[in-house]
């Protein structure tokens, strides 16, 4: 057996990092060399450690996983980034892969599926969750009207944006964290091609996206 695959975990949730650390101990050919809590830490850590593979969460404070992927690839051009997230939204899949992610898995993946994806990524091959593969096929084969890719949750958030609610108010209303609310708002702006919340609401009215 050759040298183990050196891995950095990037996730803002300590319990997730702990679980992934324990998972890596099971496999002799996988070695955890560092952990980061956000994109800023990930960039610095990867520049110093030069890992083989990065397990990247997407929803994090300060610098999110998409920007972190881009930054990590800048300082470690040869690193393989395996996205591991709870969110299979169309725009997020597309942006993560455009930023340089090699593979895209959901956190519901089994340990063996994740280990396989790490090994494949290290070998230069991509593994996509079925949800992510469907997104790429959909984007490539059919033009769609504005807002087609908004999830049910994002449409709920858009309704609340139209009512003038802040991220914290939206989080309270939907019983989600402010970070998740901010993530949904950012996704909405991106999917509608809007620069501001007000522009997003205006576009939503123009295209009959609001009840």
- Residue 139 has a pLDDT of 64
Indicate where the chain has its CATH 3.40.50.2300 domain(s): 5-139
Q: What is the 3-state secondary structure (H, E, C) of 56-109?
A: ECCCCCCCCHHHHHHHHHHHCCCCEEEEEECCCCHHHHHHHHHCCCCEEEECCC
Could you give the residue range(s) of every CATH 1.10.10.10 domain in the chain? 152-206
Question: What is the per-residue pLDDT for 169?
Answer: 96
Nearest residue to 49 (alpha-carbon basis) of 66, 31, 62: 31
pTM tops 0.75, yes or no: no
Contact 188, 158 (CB under 8 A): yes
Query: HSE of 108 in the Cβ direction (CA atoms, 13 Å)?
Result: 6
Say which residues have a Cβ less than 8 Å from residue 85's Cβ, sequence separation at least 6: 57, 58, 59, 65, 92, 104, 105, 106, 107
- Provide the percentage of residues in the chain whose pLDDT is more than 70: 97
Could you tell me if 106 and 131 are in contact, meaning their C-beta atoms sit under 8 angstroms apart? yes
Q: Please state the rounded mean pLDDT for residues 7-34.
A: 95
CATH architecture, domain 5-139: 3-Layer(aba) Sandwich (3.40)
Residues 132-185 pLDDT 10s: 888 777 666 666 788 888 988 999 999 999 999 999 999 999 999 999 999 999
pLDDT at 79 over 80: yes
The pLDDT assigned to 100 comes to: 92
The per-residue pLDDT of the chain, averaged, comes to 91
The answer on pLDDT for 1 being more than 70 is no
* Digit-coded pLDDT (tens) for 85-137: 888 777 788 888 888 999 999 999 999 999 999 999 999 999 998 888 887 77
Q: Residue 179's pLDDT is what? A: 92
Whether residue 186 has pLDDT greater than 90? yes
CATH architecture of 152-206: Orthogonal Bundle (1.10)
Q: For residue range 25-64, what is the model confidence (pLDDT) as tens digits?
A: 999 999 999 999 988 899 999 999 999 999 999 988 878 8
Question: CA–CA separation, 108 vs 62, rounded Å?
Answer: 25
Element holding 141 (H helix, E strand) = helix 130-141
- Quote helix, strand, coil % in the chain, to nearest 5: 55, 15, 35
The predicted structure's pLDDT at residue 140 = 64
């Amino acid at each position: 057996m050759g040298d183990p695959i050196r891995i950095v975990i990037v996730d803002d949730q300590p319990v997730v990092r702990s679980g992934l650390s324990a998972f890596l101990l099971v496999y002799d050919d996988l070695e955890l060399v560092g952990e980061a809590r956000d994109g800023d830490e990930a960039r610095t850590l990867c520049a110093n450690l030069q890992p083989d593979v990065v397990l990247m969460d997407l929803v994090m404070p300060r610098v999110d996983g998409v920007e972190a992927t881009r930054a990590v690839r800048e300082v470690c051009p040869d690193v393989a980034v395996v996205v591991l997230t709870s969110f299979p939204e169309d725009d997020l899949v597309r942006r993560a892969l455009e930023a340089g992610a090699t593979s895209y898995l959901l956190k519901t993946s089994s340990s063996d599926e994740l280990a396989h994806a790490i090994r494949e990524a290290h070998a230069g091959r991509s593994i996509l969750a079925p949800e992510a593969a469907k997104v790429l096929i959909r984007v490539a084969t059919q033009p769609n009207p504005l807002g087609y890719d908004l999830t049910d949750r994002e449409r709920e958030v858009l309704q609340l944006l139209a009512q003038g609610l802040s991220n914290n108010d939206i989080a309270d209303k939907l019983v989600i964290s402010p970070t998740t609310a901010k993530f949904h708002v950012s996704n909405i702006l991106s999917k509608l091609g809007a620069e501001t919340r007000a522009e997003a609401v205006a576009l939503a009215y123009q295209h009959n996206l609001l009840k």
